């Protein structure tokens, strides 16, 4: 069975109350329940974690290589500021899909660049919770092919 780690970066613990016009009214718990149910239908197990601390996210990425097959990661604002998180993704063998709830390319210019994207299998952005479900589906399909080769 494929094992997937989902990481949520800073401020995602505020989903449902933080800028609902941008991020929606559903909570992080709602998102995690939806992803867990989807993972089961895809033949995967899923663990979700959220942190507002860059170092904690770095440690989880480093540790994930020994326990997981792939990573779905919404680094939040760290996408645009963290060379360290990009280096962590590049430095592990885990395939990673970067996801964003909002369309970061349509937002303020500082959000147009991600230090992680070039190290990710792909990026899904702008579809709200569906960014995560699309990212999870794509990662599981990729892993199904790569683990069977």
Nearest to 67 by CA among 93, 28, 88: 93
* From 100, 119, 132, 142, active-site residue: 100
* From 8, 23, 62, 80, active-site residue: 23
Q: Tell me, yes or no, if 132 is annotated catalytic.
A: no
**Cα distance from N-terminal residue to C-terminal residue, the chain:** 15
Tokens coding 96? 């990673």
* Phi, psi angles (nearest 5°) of residue 103: -80, 95
**96, 70 contact by CB (below 8 A):** yes
Q: How many Cα atoms within 13 Å fall on the side-chain side of residue 88? A: 21
Q: What is the DSSP string of 26-58?
A: --HHHHHHHHHHHHHHTTEEEEEEE-S-HHHHH
Q: What share of the chain is helix, strand, coil (3-state, %, to 5)?
A: 50, 20, 30
Q: Tell me, yes or no, if 23 is annotated catalytic.
A: yes
**Would you name the residues annotated as active-site residues?**
23, 100
């Amino acid at each position: 069975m494929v094992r997937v780690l989902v990481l949520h970066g800073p401020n995602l613990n505020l989903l449902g109350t933080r800028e609902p016009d941008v991020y929606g009214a559903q909570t992080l718990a709602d998102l995690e329940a939806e992803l867990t149910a989807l993972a089961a239908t895809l033949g995967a197990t899923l663990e979700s974690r959220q942190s507002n601390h860059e170092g904690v996210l770095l440690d989880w990425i480093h540790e994930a290589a020994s326990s997981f097959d792939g990573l779905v990661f919404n680094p939040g604002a760290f996408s645009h500021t963290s060379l360290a998180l990009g280096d962590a993704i590049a430095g592990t063998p885990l395939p990673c899909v970067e996801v964003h709830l909002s369309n970061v390319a349509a937002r303020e210019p500082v959000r147009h660049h991600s230090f992680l994207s070039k190290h990710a299998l792909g990026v899904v952005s702008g579809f709200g919770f569906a960014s995560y479900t699309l990212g999870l589906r794509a990662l599981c399909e990729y892993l199904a092919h790569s683990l069977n080769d």
